[in-house]
Amino acid sequence: MLPSKPLPPPVPRPRFTAPVSFYGMNVYYKFYIQFICVFVLIALAGLRVDGQSTNSAECVTNFDPNTDYFPVKADVETATLFSIQYFKYYKLVTNKYTNETFALYQCGTQAPPATAIPAGTKVFQVPAQNVAVLGTSSVAFLDMLGLRSKISLVDSSDFISSPCVQLLEGNGSITALSPVAANAATQLSTVSLAIGASTPDAKPNSVSVSPEQDPGSLNRAEWIKFYSTFFNVEDRAIGIMKGIVANYACFRQLATDGNKDSTAPVLAWVVYDAPSDFNNNTPSWSIADAQYKKQLTEAAGAVYFNTSQLKYTTSSDFLNAINTVDIIIDETFIASDISTVYSNYGLTPDAPYKFVKNKKIFREDGITSPSDGRDWFERAVPMQDAVLEDLINVVNENLPKSGYQRKWFRNVALGEKKTISSSANCTDVNAPTTDVASNCSAIVNTATGDGSNNGGNSNGANSLQPCVTLVIFASFVRALYAFALI
């Protein structure tokens, strides 16, 4: 037998190799990751879960008393001065500070029986359609919830800093409440809801609110859930509050890390009360003692100053009490410049106090309306993460990042100017107001080199991680929601 010829060597099969980027990463790698992310998220979004993911904005047409008309329920987790209870077709919302309870029933159903609600409860159909706003912070809460179009009346319109509300008032879409009591009463009778009074009112459509009285910083922000119940937008409030809480925690940690090698300065919140008919023409000087200010001060990296005696009848006694303070925040309502501040407190430019020598005298009037309405009493109430970010920069000018521009805290000792918020600043009258705080995690990632702009990183891990996290979180939320509806 003839020897067989050796077989030729196998021809190597071509193997697909994607081109390589000049930046050190496979050109298509990021594309693959992003494509998978989008595909999975679209698939998750398409999964049907029995029930609603939001509370209805429409009236019920076929009422069933056994149907739960409020599938999205807001839990009160931080605030102490309001509560929410959900029933099948109505909810009970209570302002514990003013001792007012409101029964909110889905339109198209029926009002809850009187035996099921506390005596004196005010009853409203929800979602509310046209609203009178009786306080500037209420404007901010409704703006953030995307409910600006529901506002038809405003009180103290000169003090509102919201540029879009100013614009709507200017073109007649929103009306200012008349200063004549009888005319104002007529105007208020035309709205389904008058929200924002600080004290109870006998009018059946009046709703008192108390975010400024809730003692903690995040307590104030969580009142966004209170407002949301009257419009069935609890889902929006829950999302906004989660963002504020997470951002606040990040800023607090950023301040802790950024100030760990320095001595914490002492910060005092102070106010001068000029003589007037309201105080028997007796001036006084006071040191603030509020829980939310203490929380913000300590979270920003400073020592909160207060003493057993908070009020003084002479400026010399007051100045002697604060002689160890490094920074002051002057809350006197009228003080446009440093000369006025010095005069109010009996100070001179060469006074031997650290806050004078180091030019650390701040006021909360950094943003105002054209009529000097303070945004501090508007957006600063719900946007507590942004307030903390601002205060961090007051305590340490190098934080939270280089070149940071404060919003509300104006250094009058350095002659900083106010920012005027006018109707000209309204870019989209239909868009909700967004939180003015920076994205703290982006600041931290940039500082540590963990940002998304990773240049020559060839393994794509940073590109993949946000996607995986998002997919896992979305899957978990939908699964949890589906389980809750079983």
| 397, part of any domain | yes
Task: Write the DSSP assignment of 280-339 as a string of letters.
Answer: TT--EEEE---HHHHHHHHHTT-EEP--S--EESSHHHHHHHTTT-SEEEE--S---SHH
Phi first, then psi: give them for residue 93, nearest 5 degrees.
-115, 125
| 154, part of any domain | yes
pLDDT tier, 31 (very low <50, low <70, confident <90, very high otherwise):
very low
Instruction: Give the model's pLDDT for residue 438.
Output: 98
| Residue 439 to residues 207, 368, 376, Cα–Cα distance (Å) | 34, 24, 20
**225, 288: one domain:** no
- Of 363, 396, 422, the residue at which a domain comes to its end is 422
- Owning domain of residue 212: 127-240
Number of folded domains in the chain? 2
> By three-state DSSP, how is residue 225 classified?
helix
Whole-prediction pTM:
0.83
Q: Are 136 and 373 in contact (CB under 8 A)?
A: yes
Q: What six digits make up the tokens of 298? A: 């300590």
| 153, part of any domain | yes
Whether residue 34 is predicted with pLDDT greater than 70 in this model: the reply is no
**225, 269: one domain:** no
pLDDT, tens digit, for every residue of 50-96? Answer: 345 799 999 999 999 999 999 999 999 999 999 999 999 999 999 99
Q: Are 93 and 79 in contact (CB under 8 A)?
A: no
**409, 269: one domain:** yes
| 112, part of any domain | no
| 70, part of any domain | no
| 84, part of any domain | no
| Residue 463 to residues 31, 223, 451, Cα–Cα distance (Å) | 10, 36, 10
| 217, part of any domain | yes
**175, 313: one domain:** no
To the nearest whole percent, how much of the chain has pLDDT over 90? Answer: 79
Residue 403: give its domain's CATH number. 3.40.50.1980
pLDDT, tens digit, for every residue of 453-463? Answer: 433 333 333 44
The span from the CA of 77 to the CA of 100, in Å, is: 20
Q: What six digits make up the tokens of 87? A: 């029933």
Q: Are 142 and 151 in contact (CB under 8 A)?
A: yes
**232, 305: one domain:** no
Of the candidates 403, 404, 401, the one whose C-alpha atom is nearest the C-alpha of residue 447 is 401
Instruction: Give the model's pLDDT for residue 449.
Output: 78
Please state which of the ranges 81-95, 344-358, 467-481 shows the lowest mean pLDDT. Answer: 467-481
**295, 233: one domain:** no
What b/e string do you get for 90-129 counting C-beta neighbours within 10 Å, with b at 16 or more? bbbbbbebbebbbbbbbbebeebeeeebeeebbebbbbbe
Question: Whose structure tokens read 């010399």?
Answer: 316
**405, 312: one domain:** yes
Whether residue 35 is predicted with pLDDT greater than 80 in this model: the reply is no
Q: For residue 410, give the H/E element and its range.
A: strand 410-411
**190, 283: one domain:** no
pLDDT, tens digit, for every residue of 434-455? Answer: 999 999 999 999 988 765 443 3
Give the number of other CB atoms < 10 A from CB of residue 32.
14
pLDDT, tens digit, for every residue of 173-185? Answer: 999 999 999 999 9
pLDDT, mean of residues 97-112 = 98
The span from the CA of 107 to the CA of 59, in Å, is: 5
Give the number of other CB atoms < 10 A from CB of residue 332.
19
pLDDT, tens digit, for every residue of 375-424? Answer: 999 999 999 999 999 999 999 999 999 999 999 999 999 999 999 999 99
Average pLDDT of the chain is: 87
pLDDT tier, 15 (very low <50, low <70, confident <90, very high otherwise):
very low
pLDDT, mean of residues 91-112 = 98
**307, 384: one domain:** yes
| 392, part of any domain | yes
List, in sequence order, every residue forming a beta bridge with 420; answer none if it has no partner: 368
**142, 204: one domain:** yes
pLDDT, mean of residues 346-373 = 97
Instruction: Give the model's pLDDT for residue 18.
Output: 40
**164, 304: one domain:** no
pLDDT, mean of residues 193-210 = 96
pLDDT, tens digit, for every residue of 291-318? Answer: 999 999 999 999 999 999 999 999 999 9
Q: Taking each helix axis as running N to C, give the angle between helix 234-258 and helix 384-395, from 0 to 180 degrees, rounded to the nearest 10.
A: 10
Instruction: Give the model's pLDDT for residue 447.
Output: 86
To the nearest whole percent, how much of the chain has pLDDT over 70? Answer: 82
Instruction: Give the model's pLDDT for residue 14.
Output: 45
**232, 317: one domain:** no
Instruction: Give the model's pLDDT for residue 53.
Output: 75
pLDDT tier, 157 (very low <50, low <70, confident <90, very high otherwise):
confident
